[in-house]
Amino acid sequence: MSDLDDFKATYFDECSELLLELEEQFAAIEDGDRSSNRLNAVFRAIHSIKGGGGAFGFSGLVGFAHAYETLLDHVRDGRVELSEAVTALCIRANDIVADYVAAARDGTELAEGYGAEEKHQFDALTSGDPDLGSESMEEFDIDFVPVMVTIAGAEDELAAEPFDLAVLDDSFEAPPLSPETGHWTIRFTPHSELYARANDPLLLLRELATLGDVEVNARVDEVPALADFEPFGVYCAWEITLRSETATEATIAEVFEFVEGNCDLSIERGLVPSAEDMLDRTMEETAPSPAELIETAEVAPGAEAAPVLSFAELAESMKPALKAAAPVMPAPLKPSATASEEPEGDNDRRSGPEDRRNGVQSIRVDLDKIDRVVNMVGELVITQSMLTQQMDETLRARYQELVRGLEVLAQTTRGLQDSVMSIRAQPVKTVFSRMPRLVRELTAKTGKKIRLETIGENTEIDKTIIEQLSDPLTHMIRNSADHGIESPEKRVAAGKAEGGVIRLSAEQAGGNILIAVEDDGGGINRERVLQVARERGVVGPEQQLSDEQIDQLIFAPGFSTAAEVSDISGRGVGMDVVLSNIKKIGGSVHVKSWTGKGTRMTLRLPLTLAVLDVMLVKVAGSPYVIPLSSIVETIQCARANFSRMPTGAQVLQVRGEYVQVVDLATRFAMGTEIERDNRFVVLCEAEGGVKVALIVDDIIGQQQVVIKSLEENFQSIEGIAGGTILGDGNVALIVDVQGLKSQALNHKSAA
Amino acid sequence: MEALAFKDDISGGAVQAANSMQLIAFSIGEQTYGVEITTVREIRAWNGATPLPNTREFVRGVINLRGTIVPIFDLRARFGEGQTSPTKNHVVVVMSVGEKWVGILVDAVSDILTVSKDDIHNVPEGNSIDTELLNGIVTHDSRMVGLIDLHAVVSGASSKLDS
């Protein structure tokens, strides 16, 4: 791979991040948040995409992005109003930019004049201002020159920085000082209790910024020499100049309402020192402390991940565009992607100077490398649990030191495992944010009015699972839009709002992540589903199904109730794909429908794929493991209350409930010599709350295992979800509880 | 056994001509079979396997080969001559079939043979299981060696369905 290819790969990585950001920003703008920092973020993202595109010669992309950027510039200046129509145009433009980027990445050509209509609309909107419209294109290459140098330094994260710098001038330029507007000077000195109560000055300053234009200056005269520096000490105060026509003392005080008593606060009318004076002073005062302590934190409208600057650069860039300069200690102000977003990692916040760059310091690592670490940690966990198992009572008594060492090892291994898992964990936002575009496209195609709501998008889940989620979610949302939500006329006739809602939510529930797609449409048409199922022989003519069983039929392969195949759905592939993809990653799908009210499809996914807590059992002399998450309880056969159905099938009575019984030895066609009464019942809960009682020969214990694929060298086997390697080196098979249950159902219906 | 195999491999490999190929020969009872040496990954003694449910009788189960799970096929059972009762003296030949690794349970690994490709004869029609599982027959030192078609041997393993 040539260097240029490396740069390109980096550029496309960044583009996908920037496009996600665009999607996010416009989601907020659509919801009515018209604050200028959103627009600035959009502007920067487009500018960065354009700049990089120019360097690589993607002229189509650059041409379109340029026109778009010009429009955004006008919107930002207020020359073009950000009306609904303009927002819609911008969102469409984002999709087009994404297409251009995708085309550039894949080396494909888009149709001649793609996006020309939108471009034309940009020009029409911005034509009022010819001097900007005629801005020459050569400029982009100039913008980009520093990037090549920076990337060569292998600082991927910093690669985008010069773009940001390039726009810094115009995006943050403060309006000229106008002494006639209302000026307030606020001195804010937090006490340590303020931090102890988990307040964050950054949030206060940001809130202050919503009142008007602010200039924030940090007062760092209290910062001691490094030798005397206390990591948890509070040394920083702020002096804020607020320019606002409307602000009153009361509204300003309200911002600080929750920290009252935990800080010294003075609010005065009038301008005290000029910004330049403040800057000089800040520089003077901070000179003795290490220059790195300084990091910009933008608080003003336009807050956006601030590039880390060296002190010299900082001074340079502050002069024209100073909004705020705040030392980051003792409470590091973490620049966050958007002002409204809760800064993450509150716990790390005050844990010491080494954290101060958390917000911006990251590295890109090949997923392969992380996977290797994850696998090895998995093996380590297992070896450790094997060692622990080897310790019998006599050993314990004799080698206490060894036992203690093993306990520490167990703890450390657990910690290591958790940290490695957290490296792989990502917020589901990365996949959720692709969905608004899909819904827009579906809205356009179906002519229905659909709004997408997302909840819990910061829920974190293993990256492999996230990657596997995109297809199922797409199919589920398509299904909801096409089959679930009714046409506006039908909805009105049914007394519902004209526009339908699809709600996409994610939450953590124990060791699982639940992802739900809900719609407020008509629900599953059970008669139609059953009719089609009978026609296709999925369900026998005599078979009676409960409503719930009918709902699950939509996951059958090739099943579709659509009268005709549209380009959205109807081929019957979608829900089958959902089920198989989700099963592949060890999850399950459940659908619940309310006639006339809507449908909810829930995906239950494991938090991680690497390690599974299991119960080790023996069947016919061979080891099997059952996932602990599906086990409800275990019972000795001698105490279990079995009875026979009229058909001869065995059932187990547990607390007034009849549960189907699967004897694993019989089911797996392996003889066992253990007497019935000495065997055990493992009561498991399969998907949808259906219980199944598995009979095993012996229960050996609980442990953690790493899942190994059987398909890698062999093929899948019914009733078996995979394999794993035990501490003694033998292979144990993982029982597929869900699979056994559904097979049992089939066997019954066949009989 | 492994060491022995490799020594022979080196001495035999030196004289290998373009038109010849080397086989690892192994025996099941009186019969000798061979596979091309390049497909063989490892030869190990039988040390038990975890049986797999719902598979045909020639699938002996799976073993742990340094962290990956590898299925073991009983070649005797595959030829329809009943399951082997394996002892510590039985041998598993681990081979790669396409992307997959599989183990074949045989009685013993006997030799490394260098044969000319011209000497390979077609399997005579008649016995369906032989034609199904063999690629050809080669004569070496007046012994008949059946060339195993690995793809055919490992196919059709899970088959409760067709029983």
| Residue A674, domain member (yes or no) | yes
Which residue, of A577, A606, A635, is where some domain finishes? A606
Cross-chain residue pair B69–A670, CB shorter than 8 Å: no
Question: Could you give phi then psi for residue A120, rounded to 5 degrees?
Answer: -60, -40
Q: What is the pLDDT of residue B92?
A: 94
Cross-chain residue pair B102–A708, CB shorter than 8 Å: no
Q: Where are the beta strands (DSSP E) in A336-443?
A: 425-427
CA dist A627 and A588 (Å) reads 14
Write the residue in B53, B101, B160 that is nearest to A713 by C-beta: B101
Q: Are the C-beta atoms of A315 and A281 separated by less than 8 Å?
A: no
In sign, the C-alpha dihedral spanning A545, A550, A554, A560 is positive
Q: Within this chain, do residues A448 and A337 fall inside the same structural domain, yes or no?
A: no
Residue appearing with tokens 């303020």: A194
Q: Within this chain, do residues A399 and A479 fall inside the same structural domain, yes or no?
A: no
Cross-chain residue pair B53–A668, CB shorter than 8 Å: yes
Write the residue in B55, B70, B100 that is nearest to A717 by C-beta: B55
Of B116, B124, B130, nearest to B33 by C-alpha is: B130
Q: Within this chain, do residues A615 and A601 fall inside the same structural domain, yes or no?
A: no
| Residue A35, domain member (yes or no) | yes
B-side interface with A, Cβ within 8 Å? 48-55, 61-64, 67-71, 100-102, 157-158, 160
Q: Within this chain, do residues A544 and A597 fall inside the same structural domain, yes or no?
A: yes
Considering only alpha carbons, which residue of chain A is nearest residue B67?
A: A725
How far apart, in Å, are the Cα atoms of A1 and each of A8, A9, A368? 11, 10, 18
Q: Which of A713, A715, A740 best probes binding to B when mutated, by most B CB atoms within 10 angstroms?
A: A713
CA dist B141 and A157 (Å) reads 68
- Exposed, middle or buried, B142 (CB in 10 Å: 0-12/13-18/19+)? exposed
- Exposed, middle or buried, B85 (CB in 10 Å: 0-12/13-18/19+)? exposed
Number of domains composing chain A:
5
Write the residue in B49, B68, B160 that is nearest to A708 by C-beta: B68
| Residue A177, domain member (yes or no) | no
Considering only alpha carbons, which residue of chain B is nearest residue A715?
A: B158
Is the pLDDT higher at A252 or at B40?
A: B40
| Residue A362, domain member (yes or no) | no
- How far does Cα B128 stand from its chain's mean position? 18
Q: Within this chain, do residues A320 and A256 fall inside the same structural domain, yes or no?
A: yes
CA dist B61 and A410 (Å) reads 32
CA dist B126 and B140 (Å) reads 23
Is the pLDDT score of B3 beyond 60?
Answer: no
CA dist A312 and A531 (Å) reads 75
Q: Within this chain, do residues A445 and A503 fall inside the same structural domain, yes or no?
A: yes
In this structure, what is the dihedral angle of CA atoms A605, A610, A616, A620, given to the nearest 10 degrees?
90
- A378 touching chain B per CB within 8 A: no
CA distance A623 to chain B (A): 8
- Give CA angle at A616 (A611, A618), nearest 5°: 145
Write the residue in A623, A715, A719 that is nearest to B50 by C-beta: A623
CB contact burial A588-610 (16+ within 10 A = b; e otherwise): bbbbbbeeeebbbbbbbbbbbbb
Of A190, A186, A236, nearest to A208 by C-alpha is: A186
Q: What is the pLDDT of residue A427?
A: 86
| Residue A473, domain member (yes or no) | yes
Average pLDDT score, chain B: 82
| Residue A559, domain member (yes or no) | yes
CA dist A242 and B148 (Å) reads 85
Q: Within this chain, do residues A98 and A216 fall inside the same structural domain, yes or no?
A: no
Q: Within this chain, do residues A139 and A59 fall inside the same structural domain, yes or no?
A: yes
pLDDT mean by block of 10 residues, chain A; 751 residues: 72 82 80 78 83 80 84 80 81 85 81 78 70 40 40 41 42 43 79 78 81 81 78 81 77 78 79 50 46 42 43 47 40 39 40 44 80 80 77 83 88 86 83 86 85 88 83 86 84 86 85 86 81 76 77 73 55 70 78 86 78 86 87 86 81 85 83 79 77 90 81 83 82 85 52 36
Cis omega (within 30 of 0) on the bond before A472?
no
Q: How confident is the model at residue B109 (pLDDT cuts 50, 70, 90)?
A: very high
How far apart, in Å, are the Cα atoms of A176 and each of A35, A181, A275, A409, A723? 20, 11, 12, 63, 70
Is the pLDDT higher at B136 or at A587?
A: B136
**Tokens representing A40?**
């600035």
Q: Within this chain, do residues A242 and A110 fall inside the same structural domain, yes or no?
A: no
Q: What is the pLDDT of residue A303?
A: 40
Q: Are the C-beta atoms of A635 and A489 separated by less than 8 Å?
A: no
Pairing status of strand A213-219 against strand A324-327: parallel
Its domain, for residue A380, covers: 372-419
CATH number at residue A648: 2.30.30.40
CB contact burial A274-297 (16+ within 10 A = b; e otherwise): ebeebbebbeebbeebeeebbbbb
CA distance B100 to chain A (A): 5
Which residue, of A419, A436, A458, is where some domain finishes? A419
Q: A207: part of which helix (H) or strand (E)? A: helix A201-209
Q: Within this chain, do residues A433 and A412 fall inside the same structural domain, yes or no?
A: no
* Model confidence pLDDT, tens digit, residues A347-385: 434 444 444 444 457 788 887 888 788 878 877 877 787
Question: DSSP assignment, residue A45?
Answer: H
Considering only alpha carbons, which residue of chain A is nearest residue B47?
A: A730
* Model confidence pLDDT, tens digit, residues B56-80: 889 999 998 877 899 999 999 988 8
How far apart, in Å, are the Cα atoms of A349 and each of A57, A222, A229? 42, 20, 17
Q: How confident is the model at residue B7 (pLDDT cuts 50, 70, 90)?
A: very low
3-state secondary structure of A287: coil
Q: What is the pLDDT of residue A214?
A: 82
| Residue A394, domain member (yes or no) | yes
Q: Are the C-beta atoms of A724 and A735 separated by less than 8 Å?
A: no
Q: Within this chain, do residues A24 and A87 fall inside the same structural domain, yes or no?
A: yes
Residue appearing with tokens 């799908």: A589
* Model confidence pLDDT, tens digit, residues A611-645: 678 899 998 888 999 988 788 889 888 888 888 87
Tell me the sheet residues that pair with A454.
A504
Q: Are the C-beta atoms of B104 and B93 separated by less than 8 Å?
A: yes
Considering only alpha carbons, which residue of chain A is nearest residue B54?
A: A668
Backbone conformation region of residue A92, classed left if phi is above 0, alpha if psi is from -120 to 50, else beta: alpha
CA dist A731 and A518 (Å) reads 41
Task: Write down all domains in chain B, each with its CATH number in brackets.
Answer: 2-152 (2.40.50.180)
- Which residues in A lie closer than 8 A to residue B161 (C-beta atoms)? none
- A713 touching chain B per CB within 8 A: yes
CATH number at residue A30: 1.20.120.160
Q: B91: part of which helix (H) or strand (E)? A: strand B91-97
Q: Within this chain, do residues A578 and A439 fall inside the same structural domain, yes or no?
A: yes
Q: What is the ipTM of this complex?
A: 0.80
| Residue A364, domain member (yes or no) | no
CATH number at residue A470: 3.30.565.10
Q: Are the C-beta atoms of B120 and B106 separated by less than 8 Å?
A: no
CA distance A681 to chain B (A): 19
Is the pLDDT score of B2 beyond 60?
Answer: no
Backbone conformation region of residue A582, classed left if phi is above 0, alpha if psi is from -120 to 50, else beta: alpha
Q: Are the C-beta atoms of A484 and A519 separated by less than 8 Å?
A: yes
CA distance A706 to chain B (A): 10
